[in-house]
Chains A and B, each alone.
Chain A
Amino acid sequence: MSLFIKHYRPGSIFKKQILWRLNSSVAENHESEEEFRVLDILKKRDKQQKRVARRIDVPADRAEKMSTDQNWGNVWPGPRSFHPSTVPLPIRQGFVPKGQVPPGKKANAELMKIPNFLHLTPPVIKTQCEAIKKFCTEWPKLLNSEEAIEKHYPVEVITSDYCHASPTIRNPLARVVTLRVKLSTLNLDKHAKDKLLRLVGDHYDEKTDLITLTADRCPMRRQNLDYVNYLLTACYHEAWTVEDWEKEKMEADMEYYDWNNNQSKKNLVNWYHKCINKDIALSEDEYKSFDTSVIDHGEEYKLAVSSLFNDGEREETINNYDTAVRKLLGLPERKPIE
């Protein structure tokens, strides 16, 4: 405050005011006298001049110009991803917002993602088949049914060919060869069949009765085919040979439960002899050849025990066994649980 008083001279403030007013006199000339002019620090241009869009003559969509009787095979000759202006169909695809329709075909990535079969319309297939018909031979007349084919050509060889547009036409998967043959079509006896099944292991499917051999170890298809054929031949002939050590097959090695060879039959025969008070010692072969139909309900019992072992032990087979044993021993029936 003391400073202010020190420098204060009457009239000095007034002079400066005049000066400032002189400086700003230019603006006052253009604008109305009432408003102050605003200092535009950033110097923003109030309005950019808009460019006038030039009109270019865009031709109509090709799809709209197509005639209805055109040859579609020429328009879309090969596999290709979807193109909206080549396909004259009002297709829509994609996420549907609520209350709206699915997006249309233009600029629609959904349609381009999915594979299409527009190159494989029935007329195109027909013409292509007609074209390659001259290379085909006639189908044998006698092979008119699946059974006939199976009978005359039991061995089925499955290979795959691959065709694609890349610098190389080879595909490593084309070398894989699968051979399938039905077990029932092979000429085998009881021993050979058992041995063959043991040799092929899990290549045999019980449901379809098919032996499936697949080879992909060699680089060429022909080599794999030879190998698969060799495998089948080798297994078949090996199945027919009987080695010396096969005579040593024990009861525990049996692939199924043969009641006649088992302790169960001995038990039954011994029990029967006890019942009729006959005390005789039988040899192994006599046990095996003993006719169980002499015993009341003996056959039923035999079936029940065999099913218990061959079908696996379940509530059902156990009940079956129970019923058979009760009949055999002459006991009253089991009462159902209330």
Chain B
Amino acid sequence: MLSRNIRYACRRYSHAVTFRTTESSPTQQTDNQFGLFYTVNKDLCKQLYGHGGLPKSYMKQSKTFAETAIMVRRPALDIINCIKATDLNKPAIRYVLYGEDGTGKSMTIAHLLHYAFEEGYLIVHVPWVSDWLRRVLRHKEMANSLTREGLVDLPLDAAAWLLHFKTQNQHLLKSPEFIVSKEYVWSKREKTEAGAPLHELVELGIARVKYACDVVDAIVNEVKLLSNSKKCKTFVAVDGYNGFFNPLTRLKTPTKKKVAPEEVTLTTSILELTKNDWTNAVMVLSADSIANPDDDTKNYLPQHLLYRKGFDHLDPFVPVKVDRYTDREFLTCANYYRDRLWIRGPLDMETELKLTSACNPFKFMEQCAPL
């Protein structure tokens, strides 16, 4: 029994290359950890990515591996480095992640969310814009906005997002500094007084779904004011941001009129949030060709995906390319999979997989799954 275990251990670590780092705090990660995996604490994982934030296939894999290990990659390190060098009193800086499909834009955002959490940022995170604008369930809840003429509310999506916001920032929202600046009147009997804690506003949005979209809008304004008055610093992350600039959404009003993205109240709120007219904030957005499915040119460059409208809205932004695995990253990833006994067999297999997946992280993950 012992000898078998030893043999097993020997085989497992015979081609041991370090693929893991014990530095589990993104704030401390430097170039030394480049290309290595670090594990995210389970509770934290639930808090940060519980309501979305990690790609579905990756979630499945991390469940199989019984851990959430994220690779420290160049774009994340680059942005962390930039954030550290930023003067937060200046207008917020927008970073736009771009890259081919499956290279890890969403994973970079997930990594950066962890960083923002460790640094004590207030997190405003939209897991996937197309969930709002393109995913049409059989009973997608839609209503005409009561407060803003001609716009459409997505109350359930807004409430779900509020819950996500609440979970991600539960520790911060408790602090007494987070108060509402002005009075919001929702109806004859319901109103939020000026000076009420912010989490009360969030709770109201979750409980009274009818007002969820207006609550989101209020929260956006409050967050901007709080950041401007240096009570908190804010980290905005939006995945699939270019979805806001598509010509049309898949939503239809009861009169079968197709809805444009700018006619949705949530869009206007998030677009308001991503302007650079406030301080004490960092914004990481991603331009993803999957969020733009009508376009089949395979062009993943940001200006193409954002259209002129989006470019004019974001400019000046810092484009950050998320590339395929480098040789080193590929090797550590393959070793990690071997460690998880996810791939077995001769070492030549890695060269072959490298060729067939073309070092694309998602393809590599996909091809390893049945092995």
In the complex, per-residue mask of A303-338: 1 if CB is within 8 Å of any chain B CB, else 0 = 001001100011100100110011011111011011
Does the CB pair B91–A275 fall under 8 Å?
Answer: yes
Complex interface bits, B298-339 against A, C-beta within 8 A gives 1, otherwise 0: 000111100000011001111111010010100000000000
Q: Say whether A236 faces chain B, with CB atoms less than 8 Å apart.
A: no
In the complex, the answer to whether A263 meets B315 with C-beta atoms within 8 Å is yes
B137 CB–A CB distance under 8 Å: no
Contact string, B46-76, partner A, CB cutoff 8 A, digits 1/0?
0000000000000000000000000000100
* Distance in angstroms between the alpha carbons of A115 and B74 in the assembled complex: 67
Which one of A262, A263, A271, A335 contacts B91 once the chains associate, using CB atoms below 8 Å? A271
Report yes or no: B277 in contact with A274, Cβ–Cβ below 8 A: yes
Report yes or no: B82 in contact with A331, Cβ–Cβ below 8 A. yes
Interface flag for B242 (CB, 8 Å):
no
Q: Which residues of B contact A321 (CB under 8 A)?
A: 319
Q: How far is the CA of A301 from the CA of B317 in the complex (A)?
A: 11
- Known pairs A267-B312, A271-B91; A329 contacts B318 (CB<8 A): yes
Which residue from A274, A314, A326 sits with its C-beta under 8 Å from B90? A274
Report the bound CA distance from A268 to B319 in whole Å. 16
Bound CA–CA A332/B321 (angstroms): 16
B41 within 8 A of A: no
Taking the nearest CB of chain A, how far is it from the CB of B329, in angstroms? 9
Q: Is the CB of B317 within 8 A of A325?
A: yes
Tell me the nearest residue of chain B to A276, going by C-beta. B90
Q: Roughly how many angstroms separate A321 CA and B318 CA in the complex, as a whole number?
A: 8
Contacts of B317 in A (CB 8 A): 325
Q: A274-B276, A313-B304, A318-B302 are in contact. Are A331 and B93 (CB under 8 A)?
A: yes
B298 → chain A, closest Cβ, in Å? 14
Measured between beta carbons, the chain A residues less than 8 angstroms from B93 are: 329, 331
The A contact surface, by secondary structure, is helix
B1 sits at the interface (CB 8 A): no
Q: Complex formed: what's the CA distance from A101 to B268 in Å?
A: 86
Name the A residues within 8 Å of B277 (CB-CB): 270, 274
B74 touches A325 (CB 8 A): no
B141: interface (CB < 8 Å):
no
CB of B87 within 8 A of chain A?
A: yes
Name the contact of B85 in the complex, choosing from A325, A328, A331 (C-beta under 8 A): A331
Partner of B326, one of A262, A268, A335, A338: A338
Indicate if B295 sits at the interface (CB-CB under 8 A): no
Whether B175 is near chain A, meaning CB under 8 Å from some CB there, is no
Interface string of B276-287 (1 = CB under 8 A from A): 110100000000
- CB neighbours (8 Å) of A268 from chain B are 315-316
* A322 and B318 contact, CB distance less than 8 A: yes
Tell whether, in the assembled complex, residue B315 and residue A322 are in contact, meaning their CB atoms are under 8 Å apart: no
Q: How many A-B residue pairs lie within 8 Å, measured between CB atoms? A: 77
- Considering the chains assembled together, what is the distance between the CA atoms of A318 and B302 in angstroms? 9
When distances are taken between beta carbons in the complex, the residues of chain A under 8 Å from B320 are 322, 334
Which residues in chain B, 254-301, are within 8 Å of chain A measured between CB atoms?
A: 276-277, 279, 301
A267 and B315 in contact (CB under 8 A), knowing A313-B303, A330-B87, A331-B82?
yes
**Contact bitstring A260-296, B, C-beta under 8 A = 1, else 0:** 0011100110110011000000000000000000000
User: Contact check: which of B34, B87, B318 meets A325 at CB < 8 Å?
Assistant: B318
Residues of A within 8 A of B78 (CB): 334-335
What chain B residues lie within 8 Å of A313 (beta carbons)?
A: 301, 303-304
Chain B 81-116 near chain A by CB (<8 Å), digits 1 or 0: 110011100110100000000000000000000000
Determine if A308 and B91 form an interchain contact, defined as CB atoms under 8 angstroms apart. Answer: no
Chain B residues with CB below 8 A from A308, complex form: 303
In the assembly, what is the distance between CA of A63 and CA of B326, in Å? 76
| B34: chain A residues within 8 A (beta carbon) | 338
List chain B residues, Cβ under 8 A from A337: 74, 323, 326
Smallest Cβ distance from A91 to chain B, in angstroms?
56
Cα(A331)–Cα(B83), bound, Å = 8
Tell me the minimal C-beta distance from B151 to chain A in angstroms. Answer: 23
Residues of the B chain whose Cβ atoms lie less than 8 Å from the Cβ of A314? 301
A270, A314, A322, A331 pick with most chain B CB within 10 angstroms? A331
Q: Which of B31, B77, B316, B319 contacts A329 (CB 8 A)?
A: B316
Chain B residues positioned under 8 Å from A262 (CB to CB): 312
From A309, A318, A332, contact of B301 by CB (8 A): A318
- Within the complex, the shortest CB–CB distance from A323 to chain B, in Å, comes to 10
Report the minimal beta-carbon distance from A129 to chain B, rounded to whole angstroms: 59
- Per a CB cutoff under 8 Å, which of B85, B316, B326 touches A267? B316
Q: How far is the CA of A263 from the CA of B310 in the complex (A)?
A: 11
Best-buried of B34, B78, B87, B304 by chain A (most CB within 10 Å): B78
Question: Looking across the interface, which residue of chain B has its beta carbon closest to that of A273?
Answer: B91
Bound together, the chains give a CA A194 to CA B136 distance in angstroms of: 47
Give the nearest-CB partner of A332 in chain B: B85
Q: Complex: how many Å from CA A275 to CA B91?
A: 7
B353 to nearest A CB, angstroms? Answer: 21
Output the least CB separation between B291 and chain A (Å). 18
Can you report 26 A-B residue pairs in the complex whose CB atoms are below 8 A from each other?
A263-B312, A263-B315, A264-B315, A267-B276, A270-B277, A274-B276, A274-B279, A309-B303, A313-B301, A315-B301, A318-B302, A318-B303, A318-B319, A322-B318, A325-B317, A325-B319, A329-B86, A329-B93, A330-B86, A330-B87, A331-B318, A332-B81, A334-B320, A337-B74, A337-B326, A338-B326
Residue numbers of B with Cβ under 8 A of A are 31, 34, 74, 77-78, 81-82, 85-87, 90-91, 93, 276-277, 279, 301-304, 311-312, 315-321, 323, 326, 328
- The 10 A-B residue pairs whose C-beta atoms are closest, nearest first, are A263-B312, A274-B91, A331-B82, A313-B303, A313-B301, A325-B316, A267-B315, A264-B315, A322-B319, A332-B85
